[in-house]
Amino acid sequence: MKITSLAGGIGGARFLRGLTQSEKVTRNVDVTVIANTGDDIWVHGVRVCPDLDTVMYTLGGGISAERGWGREGETFTAKEELAIYGVEPTWFGLGDKDLATHLIRTTSLNAGYPLSEVTQALCDRWEPGVHLIPMTDQRCETHVVVDHPETGARIAMHFQEWWIRYGAQLPAHEFIQVGLDQAQPAPGVIDAIMNADLILLPPSNPVVSIGTILAIPGVHDAIRNTPAPVIGLSPIINNAPVRGMADACLSAINVETSAVSVARHYGSRSSGGILDYWLIDHSDSDSLAEIEDLGISARAIPLLMTDIDAAGAMANSALDLVHAN
């Protein structure tokens, strides 16, 4: 069975760990992960790809369990030394172990290798157990339009500065994908969607993670047209994001922070959208009828990914849904 999943950062990676380590799934299942690269950033001369690395480290066993990003047992000596020199950005958490990944990636990119090939080479070490592909090999960074915290002037800043330095507390007027008009799906992306037996949208940020991937020319159409069923899992439980600041992102695009509103935002496949199924938490089960009215089959299951087993149970619910229909 071929499963293709779009994925953002921490929530998506944790779901995928449940999917790939669940006993039901490991047998003859081939998982391809199309990861968001809109969060990617140049810092201190190296290219950092947060969502690719979060998936690679989480599935490869190197992730910091406490942070959900970066490496377990990490030190930040290089970051501290850079700060002593007064070199910005001092707000970015550049880890020493993580730096090795960024240095190899930067050297390979500078030598002309595409990001998809560089990612494959890094995965040779980490063996995440999935085929990890960036959404595009071209630079397509998310920048956020905000009012400058001091001057009030309307400016665009890199997503990471908004997310890390300002904790997504500056109201976002707009998200812009810089480079989108030149971006093409990376090799294998469209094929992984069109030839899958199942498409999964994990509980990643629907705006800056899943939304960013869907905006790459050709991806949304491929998901609309693939013969595979498309199952999404709500990143919103009881009208609140499970982690991260999905609510700050949803309000920027005038989408209410609720399981049903995100389902409406993705849309049913029968009405020009991408969802066949939408899994919500039991606490939102009063929305089941409303979601079904959108033309999307809905189920309420435990959606809180407290540990790997909980994520595995969620993945199994998604698979059961497909087998049942």
Query: Which of the stretches 45-53, 195-203, 259-267, 274-282 binds ligand FO1 when contact is defined by CB under 6 A?
Result: 45-53
In the complex with ligand FO1, which residue's Cβ is closer, 160 or 258?
160
Q: Could you give the 3-state DSSP secondary structure of residue 252?
A: helix
Q: How far is the CB of 69 from ligand FO1 (least distance, A)?
A: 4
Q: Tell me which residues in 90-149 interact with ligand FO1 (CB under 6 A).
A: 92-93, 98
DSSP string covering 190-250, please? HHHHHT-SEEEE-SS-TTTTHHHHHTSTTHHHHHHH-SS-EEEE-SEETTEESSTTHHHHH
The answer to whether 225 and 255 have CB atoms below 8 angstroms apart is: no
Calculate the alpha carbon distances from 88 to 43, 44, 151, 206, 221 in Å: 9, 8, 20, 30, 40
Rule CB under 6 A: choose which of 25, 33, 48, 280 binds ligand FO1.
48
Tell me the residue type at 77. T
Closest distance to ligand FO1 from the beta carbon of 31 (Å): 20
Q: In sequence order, which residues have a C-beta less than 8 Å from that of residue 139 and are 6 or more positions away?
A: 40, 178, 179
Select the span of 50-58, 145-153, 264-272, 295-303 touching ligand FO1 (CB under 6 A).
50-58
Q: How far is the CB of 200 from ligand FO1 (least distance, A)?
A: 17
Q: Which of 91, 195 has the CB closer to ligand FO1?
A: 91
Cα separation, 19 vs 7, in Å, equals: 12
User: CA-to-CA distance for 246 and 153, rounded, in angstroms?
Assistant: 24
Residue 74 near ligand FO1 by CB under 6 A: no
Q: Which is nearer to ligand FO1, 208 or 300 (CB)?
A: 208
CB of residue 32 to ligand FO1, shortest distance in Å: 19
Interface with ligand FO1 (CB under 6 A): 8-10, 39, 48, 50-51, 53-54, 69-70, 92-93, 98, 160, 163-164
